[in-house]
Amino acid sequence: LAKTTQPISMDSYEGQEVNITCSHNNIATNDYITWYQQFPSQGPRFIIQGYKTKVTNEVASLFIPADRKSSTLSLPRVSLSDTAVYYCLVVRSGNTPLVFGKGTRLSVIA
């Protein structure tokens, strides 16, 4: 599976939009991009998944350019409760196991 690279940490003020970019240069045709969120003392939680272009749900948006070598998770108007670690994963279709990297530690401050 393609290796992912994302920033180790990010800081943001409440109410701002946060964009976390992940690079996955060696992504394959049958791979999806998936993002998970992990709060302290909890297990990771699925946020969003996409293949190309843009996907939006009630939590976030995911932007994937045409070459699919990177993706951007966008969190609109973050609050303190969005402080968490965000993981970008490349998932091969067919329910292969999730392989987690270090993730991005997002700190939202008032």
Partner 1 sequence: DAGVIQSPRHEVTEMGQEVTLRCKPISGHDYLFWYRQTMMRGLELLIYFNNNVPIDDSGMPEDRFSAKMPNASFSTLKIQPSEPRDSAVYFCASSFNQGAIGAFFGQGTRLTVV
106 with 86: CB under 8 angstroms?
Answer: yes
State the binding string over 40-79 for partner 1 (x if CB under 8 A, else -).
-xxxxxx--x------------------------------
Name the minimum Å distance from CB 41 to partner 1: 8
Binding status of residue 29 toward partner 1 by CB under 8 A: no
Using an 8 Å Cβ cutoff, are 54 and 63 in contact?
Answer: yes
Residue 58, SS3?
A: coil
Q: How many CA atoms lie within 13 A of 20 on its CB side?
A: 31
Residues that bind partner 1 (CB under 8 A): 32, 34, 36, 41-46, 49, 87, 91-103
